[in-house]
Amino acid sequence: MIAAPSSERIDLREWAGLLPGEVVLLTFTNRAADEMRDRLRRSIARLQPGPTGDDGTRRSDPRIRQKGFSEQLLTLLEDAPIGTIDSFLNQLVSP
């Protein structure tokens, strides 16, 4: 489960193929932002190619068509816009 207010929570299994840089995750504190990134990192690391299913430790996902894709997602996650509301707004208005 991706951390968000209960009205905005999206289960990672409902992921529509968006890349980490195409989704903005905002919160009020740096600590909460770090926790969201860590949770997302752990969820992505468990993804593997294959039919939908759950063996308890890794989750198969039919949208992942080849091995190594979850590693690519983890690399992209490092540059994803995950942070505080203030830091995001500062990025928008800085030259």
Q: What is the pLDDT of residue 61?
A: 61
State the CB neighbour count (10 A cutoff) for residue 93: 6
The whole-angstrom separation of Cα 30 and Cα 43 is 20
Q: What is the pLDDT of residue 84?
A: 96
Full-model pTM: 0.66
Please indicate whether residue 60 or residue 79 has the higher confidence score (pLDDT). Answer: 79
Residue 45 has pLDDT above 90, yes or no: no
Give mean pLDDT, residues 53-57. Answer: 54
Q: What percent of the chain has pLDDT over 70?
A: 62
pLDDT > 80? residue 86: yes
Q: Can you name the residues that pair with 53 across neighbouring β-strands?
A: 60
